[in-house]
Structure 1
């Protein structure tokens, strides 16, 4: 991966840090494998349910909202909860595959690369802004005079995650149509591991283009309507299902039933609604495999990655 010049990285760090709360979370987030309590309790107490999420050091209030959801699931199971955080989508997938978590909120791309792996069962998906799907966007500043993907040759790009459908996978598919790959087409690549950070990078001209989730882009426009005039979408993917909730197949059937029912009904609970709203989740809805039936999901590229 070609790295951005140091001055741009310094600017990016400054930009992305702005607006983030400096307060410390009261909730412990587990980062390393060795810190995760084993699934089998040794003293007869209920074993903790391990819930995994991926994001790079989210603001403390974001962690709090995920913690609210995780604690609610634990309450229904009558078990304590450990909230596990990993930097990348791929790390969360591996965690589930290796038995290091019981429940995970996967990205769509991470699900596409792991949905044929034994031991992982999808039970629900997120409905955001009224729909259970989204698009991948390639976004530039409108005054950049870039209007087509071919204009991006040699430019700098912000990519959320190598396993993100709306970022790396979608962009790779489009470039493959013209015989290119992201690694050879762009002058430099910056992995942000956060869609909001990718969008901020292009808005603040740290990079020329960002490959982002459409929901993040549209939510940003709702917060700041002026963005609608300053940004331009020059490529759009086919619709893809939102990030699913998956569980370990090794869980008892009764636990699986409780977890599924809990996610599908939690939007009806007044105490949980603020957490969902703050995460821009309307509710969790039944999993629909057809929304993940993309060209990528059938490709030899995917089979090769597995």
Structure 2
């Protein structure tokens, strides 16, 4: 059985001792961890208006922290050095298995008005690939070993359909980002790729690629959006204030999700679909001690 810890090692995320991010922070400062989907400064900048709004509503300093990898955020949560964090669906499930944290909110965007998204397998319309069976012997791009929509959900979907990815494709690469996978297909570098629907839609909206150039040959079930999580031990009154502040966060940009229409309530059970996908892939979520 492949452990979730091993998956992180495959992705280049070494499992480290408890992360040191300085001395214990002041009780009147809220420390917020952000998954490193971009470099640290870009991640903080793209979250600035949300963090500023949170600081204003809470009436206390909000200090962002971006680790060098997903595991850094999880370790900081486990050490009690972060109060709140923004995690991906799979990184949340891992965090919940090793740290005393829980999901409490997900972003709802003006673009979709939904708290979920989907993984797509896309190919060029001129490729001759019309369904999953036609992928046999072709080149393929996943995003990253730890990406929910760019690797884990589509891989599980292929296995459920009776295809072994290691035998289905002639060559597989990890592109490093959804945008890179989209461009790899558009430019003929690979024949097909797995990407998030909202990121493809964003690339089309920015006129980076044209929707009519692509064919979707597989679509996943809804994947719960990346959650905001907090330490369970956080002060209950502060939790109420944080949840209320995020719920009212509207008309501000939030990373690659676009303009927000607030954050809606979620809970740990919403991520059971992620745990079920881990079972399909034979991942041991208890593998990290």
Answer yes or no: is the 8 Å Cα contact 2:46–2:253 preserved in 1: yes
Comparing 170-179 with 182-191, which one deviates more in the overlay? 182-191
Alignment of 1:101-140 (within 5 A): 101-128=82-109, 129-140=112-123
Answer yes or no: is the 8 Å Cα contact 1:171–1:182 preserved in 2: no
Matched residue, 2:3: none
Q: Which has the higher strand share?
A: 2
Q: State the alpha-carbon separation in 1 of the partners of residues 213 and 41 from structure 2.
A: 26
Matched residue, 1:37: 22
Aligned counterpart in structure 2 of residue 50 of structure 1, from 27, 32, 41 = 32
Aligned length: 265
Matched residue, 1:255: 238
Would the alpha carbon gap of residues 185 and 99 (structure 1) be closer, same or farther in structure 2, given more than 3 Å must change? farther
Confirm or deny that 1:187 pairs with 2:165. Answer: no
Answer yes or no: is the 8 Å Cα contact 2:140–2:193 preserved in 1: yes
- Give the secondary-structure state (helix, strand or coil) at the position aligned to 2:35: strand
Matched residue, 1:72: 53
Q: State the alpha-carbon separation in 2 of the partners of residues 65 and 227 from structure 1.
A: 25
Would the alpha carbon gap of residues 230 and 279 (structure 1) be closer, same or farther in structure 2, given more than 3 Å must change? same
Shift of 1:207: 2.3
Q: State the alpha-carbon separation in 2 of the partners of residues 91 and 289 from structure 1.
A: 21
Answer yes or no: is the 8 Å Cα contact 2:90–2:274 preserved in 1: no
Would the alpha carbon gap of residues 89 and 202 (structure 1) be closer, same or farther in structure 2, given more than 3 Å must change? farther
User: Please, what TM-score do these two structures have when normalized by structure 1?
Assistant: 0.73
Answer yes or no: is the 8 Å Cα contact 1:109–1:163 preserved in 2: yes
Runs (4+) of structure 1 exceeding 6 A deviation are none
Q: State the alpha-carbon separation in 2 of the partners of residues 59 and 37 from structure 1.
A: 19
Alignment of 1:149-160 (within 5 A): 149-160=132-143
Between the two structures, name the one with larger relative contact order (CA 8 Å, sep ≥ 6).
2
- Give the secondary-structure state (helix, strand or coil) at the position aligned to 1:122: strand
RMSD, aligned CA: 3.2
Q: State the alpha-carbon separation in 2 of the partners of residues 192 and 249 from structure 1.
A: 36
- Give the secondary-structure state (helix, strand or coil) at the position aligned to 2:103: strand
Aligned counterpart in structure 1 of residue 124 of structure 2, from 141, 144, 149 = 141
Answer yes or no: is the 8 Å Cα contact 2:90–2:147 preserved in 1: yes
Answer yes or no: is the 8 Å Cα contact 1:239–1:291 preserved in 2: no
User: Please, what TM-score do these two structures have when normalized by structure 2?
Assistant: 0.77
Q: State the alpha-carbon separation in 1 of the partners of residues 146 and 53 from structure 2.
A: 29
Answer yes or no: is the 8 Å Cα contact 1:112–1:297 preserved in 2: no
Q: State the alpha-carbon separation in 1 of the partners of residues 49 and 178 from structure 2.
A: 22
Shift of 1:130: 1.5
Q: State the alpha-carbon separation in 2 of the partners of residues 73 and 66 from structure 1.
A: 11
Would the alpha carbon gap of residues 92 and 178 (structure 1) be closer, same or farther in structure 2, given more than 3 Å must change? same
Q: State the alpha-carbon separation in 2 of the partners of residues 88 and 186 from structure 1.
A: 29
Matched residue, 1:9: none
Matched residue, 1:266: 249
Q: State the alpha-carbon separation in 1 of the partners of residues 232 and 39 from structure 2.
A: 29
Answer yes or no: is the 8 Å Cα contact 1:95–1:101 preserved in 2: yes
